[in-house]
A and B are shown apart, each in its own frame.
Chain A
Amino acid sequence: MAYYISNIARSKGDPKVLRSGPSSLGGADRMAKALGWFSIGLGIAELVAPERFTRALGMEGKEALVRTYGIRELGHGIVSLSPDKHIGLWSRVAGDGLDIATLMTAMRHDNPKRDNVKFALAAVLGVTLLDIIGAQGVTARHSRPRGRPRSYRDRTGFPQGVQAARGAAKDFQVPPDMRAAPTLAAVSDRAPQERARPH
């Protein structure tokens, strides 16, 4: 859709999209993107309104911890949206473990919001499952398979062989604007007073 707006930046004769085709983004990539944005949304909410979380879960007094988790979520989100998305998603899985451990501390019998904690735990477990599926998916999609790479031993690029190629372009004259400092011989050939002029 965005390309209809960006067509403003194009001239009359430039190609414009008529119909979209297959994308380089796979299902796992799209999932990583969605989970990355989810992390950022959750992180902002935890940073901005931690008391809402602590009140709902019967964890009053833990606002600083929720804020810290908010910063952590933002980190997960940024990395999940980057080309290193597998790191972002696996870090989300680790973060889910931390969230589950923290929620377990609120499962005590004297917590009047125990039902909310149960609901939150179920939600985190569900998201953890998605994170694991996503992390495995992007890791599989983007990793370099193990095993022997193809052999390029014969790809010299020189039809007459490497030895014949060494210095074959001696006839080439380096343009004056690309010359480096003079060669040792060029300096040595000059008179001594020309060679060493004090500053």
Chain B
Amino acid sequence: MRALVWHGKEDIRCDTVTDPEIEQPRDAIVKVTSCAICGSDLHLFHNFIPAMLPGDVMGHEMMGEVVEVGSEARGKLKKGDRVVVPFTIICGECDQCKRGNFSVCQTTNRKKYLADKVFGHATAGLFGYTHLTGGYPGGQAEYLRVPFADATHIKVPDGIPDEQVLFLGDIFPTGWQAAVQCDIQPTDTVAIWGCGPVGQMAIRSAILLGAKQVVAIDHLPERLEMAEAGGAITINFDEESVVERLNELTGGEGPEKCIDAIGMEAHVSPSMPDTVYDRTKQMLGAESDRPHVLREMIYVCRPAGVISIPGVYGGLVDKIPMGQLMNKGLTIRTGQTHVNRWTDDLLRRIEEGQIDPSFVITHTVSLDEGPEMYKVFRDKQDSCIKVVLKP
């Protein structure tokens, strides 16, 4: 089959690889009909997150049709089922899964020994996301083996196009969880840094959850325009001070809820000296992540407010203002998304027409064009916001 394969920094290739095979009785094989390039794939593209190996298949946002089912998954899945595959692999049986903390499933990371060493305790296995999370091959491919498939799937009905349900596997529940863990009240201002795909989903989620005002921060005109279309007030950080504008919009009090939809690769600009400092340290290997957004959120957030972090961080950050964080009594909520905790509800909202997540798709191409689209997406060329691949 064909698959997008990581060969090294900025080197993704569309390779011919062997077909995946059922290994365990709970496995299933899915013929991928649609998959997407996620913003967090770019961290792997840049090799900022350790433990990728040449030959790893990329991709953690995918859906398709079940074509083979292991003996123990047969009760829950059958050939021909149409499924979205969540990026977190879950057993559904461990203590964390029973609590709904699916992204920290205790069972599915098959390289637990490695993750225990690096993270202290292992988190769930993830598709196409380094050997720290199991080294499972991803879904930017024609076929995907889904481990623990009896639990790791979201069945979707026929009749809804792939484009409307594909993002149930990652960015939609990620934006939703980012907003949910802010516990949005009708009086709240929610500020969202980053108008990439997750930021766009967080904006729509905050609107649905009834925020008084949603403020979106970015500097790319097309992304700000999409944010505005979704009901947000926008701030272009190239043109105005984020802190001043947020204070102005909140009567000088600051937003109650702040969402970091950027993560480890904050935009670098001489007008934000800390970003140049972070980039320099990152190049020298003295810091893995660029936490400009975290610093700004902690500074501007209203005391006793909530900071929600769906953006991916990979390792060590520097110069985090703990004094501001502690004295202001801020709450930080973060984590990979507990995808299956939200998807029944979100699927219903799609079916009812409350939201159509396909609005974010700007490019649809074949798998062969995937390597070039990594570059286009990374360089934000051709107004690219979200790429869907058709294997």
Residues of A within 8 A of B (CB): 2-4, 6-7, 9-26, 29, 78-79, 81-84, 141-145, 149-160, 162, 165-170, 172, 174-175, 177-181, 183-184
Q: How far is the CA of A150 from the CA of B264 in the complex (A)?
A: 27
Choice from B304, B374, B381 contacting A181 with Cβ under 8 Å: B304
- Is there an interface contact between A149 and B230, defined as CB atoms closer than 8 Å? no
In the complex with contacts A11-B23, A156-B231, A159-B356, A23-B7 CB distance below 8 A: yes
Q: Across the two chains, which residue of chain A brings its CB closest to B42?
A: A83
Contact with A along B109-133 (1 / 0, CB 8 A): 0100000000000000000000100
- Is there an interface contact between B231 and A179, defined as CB atoms closer than 8 Å? no
Choice from A20, A155, A183 contacting B229 with Cβ under 8 Å: A155
Q: Can you identify 28 A-B contacts, CB atoms within 8 angstroms?
A: A2-B54, A3-B7, A6-B53, A6-B55, A11-B110, A13-B27, A15-B1, A15-B20, A16-B17, A16-B55, A19-B15, A21-B14, A21-B15, A84-B283, A144-B379, A144-B381, A149-B222, A149-B383, A150-B362, A150-B382, A152-B229, A155-B226, A157-B230, A157-B360, A159-B354, A180-B257, A181-B304, A183-B187
Q: Across the two chains, which residue of chain A brings its CB closest to B367?
A: A21
Question: Is B76 an interface residue, CB under 8 A from the partner?
Answer: no
- Is there an interface contact between B356 and A15, defined as CB atoms closer than 8 Å? no
In the complex with contacts A3-B54, A18-B15, A19-B15, A170-B371 CB distance below 8 A: no
Choice from A15, A29, A78, A184 contacting B18 with Cβ under 8 Å: A15
Most interface-central of B54, B55, B222, B368 (chain A CB within 10 A): B55
Count contacts between A and B, CB distance < 8 Å: 220
Q: Which residues of A lie under 8 Å from residue B362 when comparing CB positions?
A: 150, 152
Q: Which residues of A lie under 8 Å from residue B110 when comparing CB positions?
A: 11
- Is there an interface contact between A165 and B231, defined as CB atoms closer than 8 Å? yes
A-B CB proximity, top 7 nearest = A3-B55, A167-B210, A13-B21, A180-B183, A157-B359, A6-B53, A24-B371
Q: How far is the CA of A69 from the CA of B59 in the complex (A)?
A: 42
Q: Which residues of B lie under 8 Å from residue A143 when comparing CB positions?
A: 379
Q: How far is the CB of B101 from chain A (nearest CB, A)?
A: 8
In the complex with contacts A9-B131, A144-B380, A169-B210 CB distance below 8 A: yes
Q: How far is the CB of B15 from chain A (nearest CB, A)?
A: 5
- Is there an interface contact between B222 and A152, defined as CB atoms closer than 8 Å? yes
Question: Is B284 an interface residue, CB under 8 A from the partner?
Answer: yes
Q: How far is the CA of A29 from the CA of B9 in the complex (A)?
A: 11
Question: Is B25 an interface residue, CB under 8 A from the partner?
Answer: no
Most interface-central of A24, A84, A145 (chain B CB within 10 A): A24
Looking at B86-94, B200-208, B239-247, the stretch in contact with chain A turns out to be: B200-208
- Is there an interface contact between B55 and A10, defined as CB atoms closer than 8 Å? yes
Q: Which residues of A lie under 8 Å from residue B381 when comparing CB positions?
A: 144-145
- Which secondary structure dominates where chain A touches chain B? loop
Q: Which residues of A lie under 8 Å from residue B181 when comparing CB positions?
A: 178
- Is there an interface contact between B22 and A13, defined as CB atoms closer than 8 Å? yes
- Is there an interface contact between B357 and A157, defined as CB atoms closer than 8 Å? yes
Question: Is B209 an interface residue, CB under 8 A from the partner?
Answer: yes
- Is there an interface contact between B23 and A152, defined as CB atoms closer than 8 Å? no
Q: How far is the CA of A84 from the CA of B278 in the complex (A)?
A: 13
Q: Across the two chains, which residue of chain B brings its CB closest to A181?
A: B304
Question: Is B137 an interface residue, CB under 8 A from the partner?
Answer: yes
Question: Is B10 an interface residue, CB under 8 A from the partner?
Answer: yes
Choice from A24, A157, A170, A181 contacting B204 with Cβ under 8 Å: A157
Q: Name B7-62 residues within 8 Å CB distance of A.
A: 7-23, 27, 45-46, 53-57
- Is there an interface contact between A178 and B180, defined as CB atoms closer than 8 Å? yes
Q: How far is the CA of A134 from the CA of B256 in the complex (A)?
A: 48
Q: How far is the CB of A2 from chain B (nearest CB, A)?
A: 4
